[in-house]
Amino acid sequence: MLVLSLREGEEIELGADVKISVLDLTGGRVRVGITAPQELQVRRVKAQSAASAAKAAAAAPKDCRS
């Protein structure tokens, strides 16, 4: 994993087609803008604590097949 520190207004380019821009830094939150080709799927994945991940796994239905 590459970890970068950026300031508001700075950008990262991924290849020739994807650009990530830091739009705003306010109150411990970062707003980013992503420019990418329309055919590239961009999804937001929320972080999940280890405790809530274990709780969700325990609550998930068990597979009955052997």
pLDDT at 52: 72
Q: Where are the domains of the chain?
A: 1-36
Q: Looking at the predicted structure, is the pLDDT value of residue 66 above 60?
A: no
pTM of the complete model: 0.64
Classify the C-alpha dihedral 9-11-5-22 as positive or negative. positive
Q: Looking at the predicted structure, is the pLDDT value of residue 10 above 60?
A: yes
Cα pseudo-dihedral 37, 16, 18, 20, rounded to 10: -150
The bridge status of strand 18-26 relative to strand 11-14 is antiparallel
